[in-house]
Chains A and B, each alone.
Chain A
Amino acid sequence: MSEYILETQNLNYQYPDGTPALKGISVKIEKGKKVALLGLNGAGKTTLFLHFNGILKASQGKVLFKGAEIKHNHKFLLDLRKKVGIVFQDPDSQLFAATVWQDISFGPLNLNLPEEVVEKRVLQALDSTGITYLKDKPTHFLSYGQKKSVSIADVLAMEPEVIIFDEPTAWLDPKHTAEIMQTFDRINEQGTTIILSTHDIDLAYAWADHIIVMGDGNILGEGLPQEILSDEDFLIKSGLVKPIILEIYEKIKSIGLIEKGKIPKNRDELLATLGEMYGKRKSLDK
Chain B
Amino acid sequence: MILIDKYAYCNKFQGIHPMEKFIFSMGTMVLTISLNSLLVSCFVVIMVGALLIFRVGIPWKFYSKIMLMPISFLLLSLVTVATVITKQPIDLLYFFPLGAWKIGITKQGLITAELLFFKAMAAVSCLYFLSLTTPIIEIMTVLRKLKVPELFLELMSLIYRFIFVLMETADRIYISQSSRLGYSSVQKGYKSLGHLIGNIFIRAFKRSQDLYNALEARGYNGQLRVMEKKYVFSLQNILLIVLLDVFLVVIANLR
Point out residues on A near B: beta carbons under 8 Å: 50, 53, 55, 74, 78, 81-82, 85-86, 88, 90, 92-99, 101-103, 105-107, 109-111, 115, 118-119, 122, 136, 138-141, 154-155, 158
Contacts and interface: CB of A to CB of B under 8 A. Distances in A.
B144 interface: no
Given A85-B217, A86-B217, 13 more contacts: A53-B217, A81-B218, A88-B217, A92-B165, A102-B137, A103-B226, A105-B226, A106-B224, A107-B219, A109-B225, A110-B220, A139-B161, A154-B218
Given A90-B210, A96-B161, A97-B157, A136 B229 contact: yes
Contacts, number: 97
Given A96-B161, A97-B161, A110 B227 contact: no
A72 B218 CA distance: 16
Interface in B135-167: 135-137, 140, 157-158, 160-161, 164-165
A74 B220 CA distance: 11
Contact of B9 (A55, A86, A115, A141): A141
A102 B210 contact: no
A217 to B, nearest CB: 19
Q: Would you list the 10 A-B pairs with minimal beta carbon distance, nearest first?
A: A93-B210, A105-B227, A110-B219, A140-B164, A102-B226, A94-B214, A98-B137, A107-B218, A86-B217, A109-B225
Contacts of A82: 219
Nearest to A95: B161
Interface string B77-117: 00000000000000000000000000000000000000000
A81 B221 CA distance: 12
Interface residues of B, number: 30
Contacts of B191: none
Contacts of A74: 221
Nearest to A106: B226
B213 A99 contact: no
Nearest to A91: B214
A94 B169 CA distance: 16
A135 to B, nearest CB: 9
B244 interface: no
A50 B219 contact: no
Contacts of B158: 96
A96 B225 contact: no
Nearest to B6: A141
Contacts of A101: 227, 229
Contacts of A93: 207, 210-211, 213-214
A36 B46 CA distance: 63
Contact of B213 (A50, A103, A107, A158): A50
A97 B165 CA distance: 12
Contacts of A92: 165, 168, 207
B215 A96 contact: yes
